[in-house]
Amino acid sequence: MDTIRNSTDALSPAAKLLIAAARLSLGTADKKVVRELAGDDVDWKLFHYLTAHHRLEALIADALETDVEVLLPDESAAWLKQRRKENVFANLNLAASAIRIFGEFEKQGIRVLFIKGLSLDEWLYGKTGLRAAGDIDLYISPSTLPQAISCMQALGHQLAMLPERLKPGSRLAKQHLRTIKDHIFTRPGSPVVVELHWRLSRLHSAFPLGFDDAWRRRSDFQLAGRSISTLSRDTHANYLFYHGAKHYFARLFWLYDIAKLMQKQDTDWDGVVAQAHLLKTEASLGLAVVMASEIFDVPMPELLRRQSSMLSTGEQLSCEIIELILADAPTLSRTSNDAASFSYARWKVSWNSRIHPSKYHYLSEWMYELFAPTYEEWESLELPDILTPLYRLWRPLRLGSKLLFRS
């Protein structure tokens, strides 16, 4: 815990103001604290950058309410209000797209679960438009993938990556199905991005939840008066832990979700912890609740306080990333070029093996990073479909050449 406290003490004035404003929206700080931190020494451009990077604009604007002009300079107050309006509009756009997609999937008899995103509004926030608008994440059975792709295309959505090459039945499409866990769809003239998942984690990874098991335990939420299926709440909570930890909690709004979960009086922590053992997310749970508690000053539920092993692991993991997350120039958000970097591959293997510790997992992580092609491999060399297996050799060759070139 000392590492987290030391890291927050060393923050820039802009970052300290961001944390205080986020705490205000959670009810763990008051406007007096924000007022004291919103002084002349704040770099307001940096404040805007950090707030946008961590996707907390709408939450902070809502927390400051009518006092935003009193607490912040006119330019920053206007910027926050505008970003909140944009977020509300983006969420409404997402909701309309989600309802249209669900309706078409239902008509075609395709079972589908909505994960993260708008499904958290009713459960954690109780108000639409506060959580940052992202994309639409859908989870389907692998057996219905061809039908689901056709359905998405009929609705005007297009594959964002390799649209001409991922043809049904091709060797590349089969390799993609084994290697990647989702398709990304875009729609011309629309900012909405849809991720169609047939797995929630890659093969041989943590979170071993098949679609049929998730479907049997599903719950529902209301979206514009329509009942939509999603993961059960204890499973969904663990997916939030897993997803955030996998991405190093590089954006604070993922931890903000955890803080809201910790504040809910009706959270079944016995069920959440039991699911964590089944889904191998104990370390992710520990990391999430430790960081959310310390950064946002949210009290930890009593049952979690008794999970000494999880919390100890969470504290150790937090030491590796906390300063990088809270820095003025966050370094844990990677670009696509990092996929071809051996040093990044080594970092990913080390991190993933820490949050899902086992000798077998460490080996499988290295096998995946070395031999599982990514979009970068498929795009950098266009092989005839019959030679698709050679991409498994092209991947290590690209990594090796990057390493050799650097040395």
Domains of the chain by residue range: 2-333, 334-407
pLDDT tens figures, 145-202: 999 999 999 999 999 999 999 988 899 999 999 999 999 999 998 899 999 999 998 7
Report pLDDT for 363.
79
Angstrom distance (rounded) from CA 58 to CA 76: 13
pLDDT tens figures, 356-377: 766 667 778 888 888 999 999 9
pLDDT tens figures, 249-270: 999 999 999 999 999 989 999 9
Instruction: Kindly tell me if the per-residue pLDDT of 68 is higher than 90.
Output: no
Of 399 and 80, more confident? 80
Instruction: Kindly tell me if the per-residue pLDDT of 290 is higher than 70.
Output: yes
Beta pairing partners, 114: 138, 230
pTM of the predicted model, to two decimals? 0.91
pLDDT tens figures, 90-142: 999 999 999 999 999 999 999 999 999 989 988 999 877 889 878 999 999 99
Q: In this predicted structure, which of 304-318, 343-357, 371-385 has the lowest mean pLDDT?
A: 343-357
Query: What proportion of the chain, given as a percentage, has pLDDT over 90?
Result: 65
What Rg value do the Cα atoms of the chain yield, rounded? 22
Of 401 and 95, more confident? 95
Q: Which CATH architecture has domain 2-333?
A: 2-Layer Sandwich (3.30)
Residue 261: CA count within 13 A, CB half-sphere: 26
Average of per-residue pLDDT across 217-238? 93
Instruction: Kindly tell me if the per-residue pLDDT of 214 is higher than 50.
Output: yes
